[in-house]
Structure 1
Amino acid sequence: MNRLVIGIGALLFVLAAALSSFFTVHQTQQVLVTQFGQPVRVITQAGLHMKLPFVQAVIAFDARLLDYEAPGEEVILTDQRRLIVDSFTRYRITDPLVFFQTVGQAEIGIRGRLSSIVSSSLRRVLANEPLLSVLSAERARAMGEIRRQVNEEARRFGIEVVDVRIRRADLPDANTQAILARMQSEREKVAREARAEGAEVAARIRAQADRDRTVLLAEAEGQANILRGTGEQEAIGIFAESFNRNPEFFQFWRTMQAYREVFGSGEARMVLTPDSDFFRYLRAMPELPHAR
């Protein structure tokens, strides 16, 4: 009977030892094997593995990407503006041994350290950035610098910081209205300066246009006078040449032009004697001269 009990006990011990010797590593895990509390080896490959029963223990760490959301805090920018900044950090455990030695086996232990690191880096970097940079596309550059600094400090804990982002950036309630009023005043000042510069440029353009117009009109008038004088000179020369060729016909032609201008409308009134020289060609129609 005693032998049977001893045999059953030995069998149970061997079975328990065998079951304690095997453990499974999941695909989302990485394992640190310790012996009497001292780290022995790190296992990152998923599958079935062995350890010494009752002597060695297995501590599992998450191999996936982890998130940490930092509480909102107030930072002062380079232009002395204040912002309430909420940030989040994505990280993963890359060295379980270092993580275990510096933080412990609980992942929650890294959150306090990350909070301090991220807060310090946010304050250092944003202290050199103006408000417009934080609220515009230039924020990506600042966040890249913050991520680099946080990652360098976090490596000593066996983790890799993949990303640090500002989730929300708000003005403190007490300063919001004052800052908005100051920003509006600055924008209005810039607008006034732009309008003044525009008015000055417009005045210069109008003055130049008026000057150019005056010059063009003067030049055109001078050219017109020159052409008009040349035309009158040529007309006088033509009349003089015509008169010299046939004075009698020229005088007859000029008289006919006068008849057409006087009697053409049919409404002209003239007070002349019938024997006036103006009617000499009308009185002597049969004796009209012929052009030579």
Structure 2
Amino acid sequence: MRRILSILLCILIAAWSVYSAVIFVDQGEVVYVTRFGEHRATYDGEIEAGFHWKWPWPIESVLRLDRRVQVLDIPTQELLIRTGSHSALPRENQPHFVLAEESGSGLREPVATQQETPLRLTFDVYVVWRIATRDAQALEPYRRDPVNAFLRSFGTPDRAQAWLRNQLISRLKVELADLTYSQLVNIDPQKRTVNTVLQNLLHRPYEREPGDPQRLSLHERALHYGIEIVDAQLRRFNHPVQVRKQIFEQIAEQQRRLAQRFRNQGEEQAQEIRAASLKEVSKIRTEAETRRRALESEAQSEANRILNAVYREAPLAYELLLYLDFYREWLGDGRTQMILSLDHPLLKWLRDLPNLAPAHKEARSAAPPNNIAQPPR
């Protein structure tokens, strides 16, 4: 019985040794092999995926790391952004007082000046990273084995993410310090600086501390520790929740003032257009009145010429026409009644109609008078 148990125990130990001696490396991971805590080998799944051998545990141990691309969300950062002189966002300009030069009386008078209040915004940034590959452009001695550099620097991915998070927050504050709101928000693609800021955040060299001999960028420093930063992007930026309602009210008030200014400008332009139209109408009416008077004068002259010609040809007929016009003017409405004596001048043509023909023949040779007589009223 003891012999059977010993054989079974030996079989189990052998099976366990064989099982623990085989390493299967997946394409999305990196296997870090240590012998009694000392680095022995590193198997990269991108180029060394498959089965590998090692000494059984506890002689050699295995640490598996995810080498796929990972997304790290940076906690929301609340930063102060300069509004700028051309910002479309309403800003609060609070007056403060500074001492002016001494006046003639020897006293300093306070002078009110305008001080720009920075705008408070919240930024949500995320970074895409992974464990660096062997061909990454890192510094010696970590270029050949970035996994070893990663584990020696951080030990665990959580510590690496904490370091990366702190570095990004620090660099984000530096890069956004000189940025204005109009550079963040605009409709001109050539003036957008968000992508430039993010590129500078990763690739602009900086001193880790004053007098640092190595001016490296965040991307280079991360490679130095076995981290490859693939990309960094701004997810969103907004006003803090505490002041968001106030900001929206300021924007609405600004839009109301802007609309009122446009209405005032439109009313001024409308008044100018109406004044110009009235001036043009008055000018046209004046020209038309002048033209009418000229035409009436020409027509009257032509009428007088025609009447003079008629008078020369038939003076009695001319006088008869004058009386007929007078009769039409006075009696044309059909309601006028006149009581006249038989010898009244208005009845002249009614009395002299039988003698009209002989008199007309005698008067044809007579010359026209200088002034045409009007019928008596």
TM-score bracket, shorter-length normalisation = 0.7 to 0.9
Question: Is 1:101 matched with 2:149?
Answer: yes
Instruction: Report the alpha carbon displacement of residue 232 of structure 1 after superposing the two structures with TM.
Output: 1.8
Matched residue, 1:52: 54
Question: Is 1:30 matched with 2:45?
Answer: no
Matched residue, 1:276: 344
The alpha-carbon distance between structure 1 residues 177 and 11, as it changes in their structure 2 partners (threshold 3 A), is closer
Indicate the SS of the match to 1:110: helix
- The answer to whether the 8 Å contact 1:23/1:50 transfers is yes
Indicate the SS of the match to 1:108: helix
Stretch moving more, 254-263 or 45-54: 45-54
Instruction: Report the alpha carbon displacement of residue 108 of structure 1 after superposing the two structures with TM.
Output: 0.8
* Among candidates 216, 237, 254, match of residue 322 of structure 2: 254
Distance 1:46 1:202 in 2: 80
Matched residue, 1:121: 171
- The answer to whether the 8 Å contact 2:125/2:233 transfers is yes
- The answer to whether the 8 Å contact 2:175/2:200 transfers is no
Question: Is 1:158 matched with 2:227?
Answer: yes
Distance 1:120 1:166 in 2: 18
More helix by share: 1
Instruction: Report the alpha carbon displacement of residue 111 of structure 1 after superposing the two structures with TM.
Output: 1.6
Instruction: Report the alpha carbon displacement of residue 101 of structure 1 after superposing the two structures with TM.
Output: 0.6
Correspondence list, 1:200-211, <5 A: 200-211=268-279
Correspondence list, 1:6-25, <5 A: 15-25=15-25
- The answer to whether the 8 Å contact 2:125/2:235 transfers is yes
Per-residue displacement from partner, 1:57-97 (whole Å, max 9, x unpaired)?
A: 54333244423232333311123222343433343444274
Matched residue, 2:240: 171
- The answer to whether the 8 Å contact 2:123/2:234 transfers is no
Distance 2:165 2:326 in 1: 112
Stretch moving more, 157-166 or 112-121: 157-166
Question: Is 1:148 matched with 2:199?
Answer: yes
Matched residue, 1:239: 307
Per-residue displacement from partner, 1:26-55 (whole Å, max 9, x unpaired)?
A: 35x221444531554423158532133346
Q: Identity, % of aligned pairs?
A: 19
- The answer to whether the 8 Å contact 1:99/1:159 transfers is no
* Amino acid across the alignment from 2:238: A
Q: CA RMSD in A?
A: 4.1
* Amino acid across the alignment from 1:233: S
* Among candidates 43, 46, 66, match of residue 45 of structure 2: 43
Stretch moving more, 243-252 or 42-51: 42-51
Query: Runs of 5+ in structure 1 lacking a partner?
Result: none
* Among candidates 75, 78, 82, match of residue 79 of structure 2: 75
The alpha-carbon distance between structure 1 residues 221 and 64, as it changes in their structure 2 partners (threshold 3 A), is farther
Distance 2:274 2:331 in 1: 53
- Please give the TM-score of this superposition, normalised by the length of structure 1: 0.75
- The answer to whether the 8 Å contact 1:25/1:46 transfers is yes
Indicate the SS of the match to 2:340: coil
Instruction: Report the alpha carbon displacement of residue 141 of structure 1 after superposing the two structures with TM.
Output: 4.2
Indicate the SS of the match to 1:232: helix
Stretch moving more, 138-147 or 106-115: 138-147
* Amino acid across the alignment from 1:101: A
Distance 1:266 1:5 in 2: 153
Distance 2:298 2:20 in 1: 125
Query: Runs of 5+ in structure 2 lacking a partner?
Result: 84-117, 135-144, 204-217, 365-377
- Please give the TM-score of this superposition, normalised by the length of structure 2: 0.60
Distance 1:178 1:61 in 2: 48
- The answer to whether the 8 Å contact 2:310/2:318 transfers is yes
Instruction: Report the alpha carbon displacement of residue 16 of structure 1 after superposing the two structures with TM.
Output: 4.5
Per-residue displacement from partner, 1:172-210 (whole Å, max 9, x unpaired)?
A: 74x668767766776666566555544544443343333
